[in-house]
Structure 1
């Protein structure tokens, strides 16, 4: 299965992604037993929404 291309993020999406990645880094410092799956899901949903927004912008009306 080919990798999905990374969407172009808006300024708001970039800020949210940076905040989530920062929280993931903070949890990683706490140790390997700390669960990060909730933040990974949030980041995945953010990227999925950006892909959907980009696809809708490219589709003819």
Structure 2
């Protein structure tokens, strides 16, 4: 069963957009450039949104 993406706040959307832009900029440098740190930061934002959605569902 696939996980459903939670609703993101405007701040989370902006942070993810900035990180994706940085990833794109790094990819221009070449295929050997390390991007795992940015991927981890995006994953952390997604996990925070997922936890917030779970807590909101529990309150209902």
Give the structure with the larger helix fraction.
Answer: 2
Shorter-chain-normalised TM-score: which range?
A: over 0.9
TM-score by length of 2: 0.92
Structure 1 gaps, min length 5: none
1:15 corresponds to: 14
TM-score by length of 1: 0.91
The correspondence of residues 1-61 of structure 1 with structure 2, limited to 5 A, is 2-60=1-59
Query: What do residues 23-57 of structure 1 show as CA deviations (whole Å, max 9, x unaligned)?
Result: 00000111000000000000000000000001101
Give the count of matched residue pairs: 60
Structure 2 gaps, min length 5: none
